[in-house]
Structures are given as structure tokens and as C-alpha cells.
Structure 1
Amino acid sequence: MTSYEVAVRAEAALGEGPTWDPATGRLIWVDVLGMRVHTYDPSSGRRTIRTTEQHVGAAKPRAGGGLALNLRDGVGLLDPDDTFRWLHHEPVPGRRANDAAVAPDGSLWAGTMRYDEATGGGTLSRLTGAGETRLALPGVTVSNGIGWSPDGRLMYYADTPTRRVDVFDHDTEGIRNRRTLVEIEQDAGFPDGLTVDAEGCVWVALWDGGAVRRYTPSGDLDRVLTLPTPRTTACTFGGPDLTDLYITTARTGLPAPHPVSGSVLVIPGAGKGLPQPAFAG
């Protein structure tokens, strides 16, 4: 078992989407099913919780302050004064938001999935700060982890039920040339959220695998961090030096959750992350 600490003790049904906000020195994460956006300041221990009116798949900092929220019915903007407005409103019965990430150019890539996880019922879309929306990937099932190489020329992506982490060529025109970086073996769980480190390696949280794995850019398994709760959901680097790996977890569907299930875990000094851009909207 990997040595870890409990950064935030919680009982989140579906903790997800950890994001380090360098402007505030805080970790932002969500409880998708609990409809809550959490923040945590490791320097002071201060926490905040904001309840949303819909299931929330991700919350990302905005360049001008506030948050971009990937919600059930679309992407909304929360201003620093707590004013809310829709950037892109597209309710689809039976569908909800899932993971999202901000690209090096400040665009938001937001994923969706069906509540019943029907094959091909989800999407991945790219949104600009002006609200222009382009469908990047139709027909995905559980749109999940998204990340970019240090030079921004590659995008990594996990559609969870495929058991694959795929890689695309990426530029201002979009993504193309999809191919498999790695396929997770049957008994090791499913790829969920991911992050890319300063060396270009991909760290993947494994749902029902109780682990985070690090893969090299060529797809070789480099490191395995084993954890006590099976539903590890996503990971990101944070802290002043971006060397602490924060990992979200879930309790949902576990008949006997581990005491840390639903908490945010941290492995100090696990590696070196990349600064995450804020959404340009």
C-alpha cells in the first residue's frame, strides 16, 4: 500500500475533478451526485462547500475569477459575486455532465454521459470563452479524463468503458488521429480521471482498481500507487511547487465503504505537475 495522507476527510458520494487553482492556492473538487463544489486551502486548512442545483461534473477556475461549472444541462459561469449564468445551455433528458478540463489555449473541454451509461450516449465538446461550442467527439459512453502534453500538441482522453486511454494530435483546429496509448487489463479497473506531469507522463486513476498509475508518453507502465479504497476517481498535482498528488475517491455503490472512501487523499512529493490554465470565459 502506498503511503498517503487524508487531505480532506469527507463522505462524497462521487468525489471527482480535483483542480489546483494557482491564483488562490486552493484545491477545487466536486461531489457529482452530492451536487457540491468544494474548495480546500492546504496552507490554512480552510474549506468551503457550495451546493449546486444540478449534478455537477467539474468546476474549473476562470481567468477573471469565479468558476466554470459543467452541469447536467450545460456549462454555467459563476462570477466572483456568486452571480450565475449559462454559457451553454443544452439540456438532454437522461444525460448529465461528467469530467472537464481546460486546454492550454484557455478553452474548456466538457464531457457528458447518460445516467444509464448507454453506449454512445455521451459527448465531448470544446467551448471558447465567448461561448462558441464545437462537438469534438460524439458517440462516447462515459466521457472522462482529459489532459494535454507539456507542449500542448497531444491530448489524452479516457472513455471509461473502453478501458483505454487514447491520444490525439491537438492544435487550434481541434483533435485528430486517435490512437490507443494504453489499454487497462480486465482485473485492474477502469480508467477515470487523469493528469499529465511535467515530464509528459500520464497519471490515471482507476475506478474499481484502487490505484493511480503513471504511464510514460510511449505507454509503458512506470509506477503504481495502490490505495485502500477501490473507487479512485481522478488526480491532479497541487501545492506551491505542484509536487503533491491529490486524489479524489467515491463511496457510491460500495456496500462497505472504506473509512477514507469519499475523501480527498494526497501523496506529498509524488512528482511534478504542470500549471493548469484557467478558463478564458
Structure 2
Amino acid sequence: MKAVDENASASGPDQGPEIEVAVREYAELGEGPTWDPAGARLIWVDILGSRLHTYEPDSGRRSVTAVGEHIGAAKPRAGGGLVANLRDGIGLYDADGAFSWLHHDPVPGRRGNDAAVAPDGSLWAGTMRYDEAPGGGHLIRVGPDGSVTPLIDEVAVSNGVGWSPDGAVTYYIDSPTRRVDILRVEDGRLVERREFVTVEPDAGFPDGLTVDAEGCVWVALWDGGQLRRYTPRGDLDRTVRLPVRRPTACAFGGPELRDLYVTTARTGLAAPDPLAGALLVLPDIGQGLPSTAFAG
């Protein structure tokens, strides 16, 4: 099928890039796509389904693993296995599947949400309350040794985190603000937070993000049914409309990092789109950046 690519040609919207269904799944809240180069696979989660998914595009092989609680994100570890942002804290899965807590911090009514590995190998992990109460979540930095540094103490729905190609700029989303912000951190502490872009109310809420090799920021718009690409200056230069209302996050994958994978959700929809919950892919749409594995 074709997505609509509104590249603002003078004559109006053009036929956009090809969009394919990588995994036809009915995830309640698909999230956190991450390319694992060691396993040549995409890792993603169904938060509310408490499931960890993997997909190998070369063979089509996939796996689904039930975990014991809601899981916001899972990222590869440098020594094998995964680090996971769970309902009750940060957990480690060894390559053989053995589990241990790295940072156990259960709070009633709160869960882990999106997370990302920084260029230095630390994990930046966000939380949110189930009722999405303002100030009920936070963003923390978790070191390989389990040390925790608070970055932002009060957020509503902590979501996308990403870095510019040189690692100098950090992008961050607290979804209800409708903003993508730029964070400046010195000596492990947040010293500045400023607006990068604001999404207009009728376009949905910014959710997950990824940064491409040109330094442009791709943002999935929850309730907006689209992906947007912003230049490093904050200019909107591409809008790709999708066949789902609630895309949640995006990440480049494949052996050359040229395919953009998109997770989607069906939760809260009285009449979900036919592909709501599926893992979608836009082949050869750009050039991604190699991801960093968690150093712990």
C-alpha cells in the first residue's frame, strides 16, 4: 500500500513511500521499536499486553515473550540480553533469559514508558501514571552500575528520547505538552530545557521519536495518524500519513538502517483501524543511525 507523503509540492500531496505490514499483530499498545544489530532483528513491546516481541526481517522469524508486568521499552545490552523499562523499575534480562532488577522502584498507579540508550551507554527511562496525571511521572538516567540520576522530576507522559548524530543535542517529548524539547545536561544534571517544535492541536500528540543520519527528527503523532520529519532547525520538511490513527514510535532498522519501522496501538479506540496494533515498515525511506547498546 502507499502512504500519503505531503512533501508540500506546489500541486499538493504526492503519493508517498511504500508502506508494508512487517508483523500483523493486534497489540494493545505497541511501542519502543529498536534495531538490534547483533541479532539482526527488531525489538518492540506491547506495553499493556505485557509482551516482548522480536522480528527478523530476513527470515520473517518472530518471537513473543510474556513478561510479568507492563513493559514500556526493551533495549539491547552490550554483553547480550536486554534492559527493560518495566512497571516497577528497570530490569535486566541475561542472554539465557535470567532476570534481575537493576533499579526496583514500584509506585502504585505508575509504570515505565518509553526509554532510550544515550551515546554514553546509560539508559534514559521515563515513567507515567496510568491516569496520566500531570507531574506523576519522571525521566531518569540509569547508569550501567544501577546508579540513578533524576533528570526531570515532574512529567505527565514521558515519551520519545533521542540524540543528534554527534550526541550534542538531546530531544525529548512529554506528550501532553505537544512539544518536542531540547535538553542540555551537564555533569549528569539537567541545566536547560527549551522548545524545539510544537505540534498544533489538530495534528495529534507527539509520541516516540528517532533521529536520522542527517540529524532530522522523525516523530510519530498519536491520534494524528502520521509521521513528521523536522530538520535540525525545527522546520517541518516531511509528513507521511499512515493507515492507522495511533502510531506510537518509529526506528530505523534493517541491515543498512534504511527501513523505518513504526509501532501502533489500538487501545482506547471504539472502532480500531484494521492495522491498529501492527508493526509497520516504510522500506528505504532514509538513513538511520547505529544505536548504542546499554553498557550494563
Contact 1:155 1:175 in 2 (8 A): no
1:169-188 to structure 2, matched below 5 A, reads 169-170=184-185, 173-188=188-203
**1:128 deviation in Å?**
0.7
Partner SS for 2:165: coil
1:47-126 to structure 2, matched below 5 A, reads 47-126=62-141
Contact 1:153 1:171 in 2 (8 A): no
1:87, 1:274 → 2: CA distance? 27
Partner SS for 1:187: helix
1:107, 1:201 → 2: CA distance? 23
In structure 2, the partner of 1:253 is: 268
**1:258 deviation in Å?**
1.4
**1:171 deviation in Å?**
5.3
1:171-210 to structure 2, matched below 5 A, reads 173-210=188-225
Contact 2:25 2:278 in 1 (8 A): yes
| Rg comparison, structure with higher value | 2
Partner SS for 2:202: helix
1:172, 1:238 → 2: CA distance? 32
Contact 2:207 2:220 in 1 (8 A): yes
In structure 1, the partner of 2:13 is: none
In structure 2, the partner of 1:22 is: 37
**1:175 deviation in Å?**
3.6
Work out which of the residue numbers 230, 238, 243 in structure 1 matches 2:245.
230
**1:134 deviation in Å?**
0.6
Q: 1:218 to 1:264 in 2, by over 3 A?
A: same
In structure 2, the partner of 1:270 is: 285
Deviates more, 1:2-11 or 1:198-207: 2-11
Partner SS for 2:59: coil
In the alignment, residue 57 of structure 1 is paired with which amino acid? G
**1:254 deviation in Å?**
1.1
Q: Cα RMSD between the aligned structures?
A: 0.9
In structure 2, the partner of 1:162 is: 177
In structure 1, the partner of 2:56 is: 41
**1:259 deviation in Å?**
1.3
Identity %: 66
**1:170 deviation in Å?**
4.1
Contact 1:154 1:170 in 2 (8 A): no
Deviates more, 1:247-256 or 1:162-171: 162-171
Contact 2:114 2:159 in 1 (8 A): yes
Question: Which structure 1 residue ranges, 5 or more long, are not aligned?
Answer: none
Contact 1:112 1:122 in 2 (8 A): yes
Contact 1:157 1:166 in 2 (8 A): yes
1:35, 1:51 → 2: CA distance? 6
**1:169 deviation in Å?**
2.5
**1:174 deviation in Å?**
4.0
2:72, 2:195 → 1: CA distance? 25
Partner SS for 2:176: helix
**1:172 deviation in Å?**
5.3
**1:257 deviation in Å?**
1.2
Residues 132-171 of structure 1 show CA distances to partners (whole Å, capped at 9, x for unaligned) of 0111111100000000011111100000000000012245
Residues 98-129 of structure 1 show CA distances to partners (whole Å, capped at 9, x for unaligned) of 00000000000000000000011000000011
In the alignment, residue 265 of structure 2 is paired with which amino acid? A
In the alignment, residue 133 of structure 1 is paired with which amino acid? V
Question: Which structure 2 residue ranges, 5 or more long, are not aligned?
Answer: 5-15
Equivalent residues, number: 281
Partner SS for 2:210: strand
1:231, 1:33 → 2: CA distance? 15
- TM-score normalised by the chain length of structure 2: 0.93
2:231, 2:137 → 1: CA distance? 28
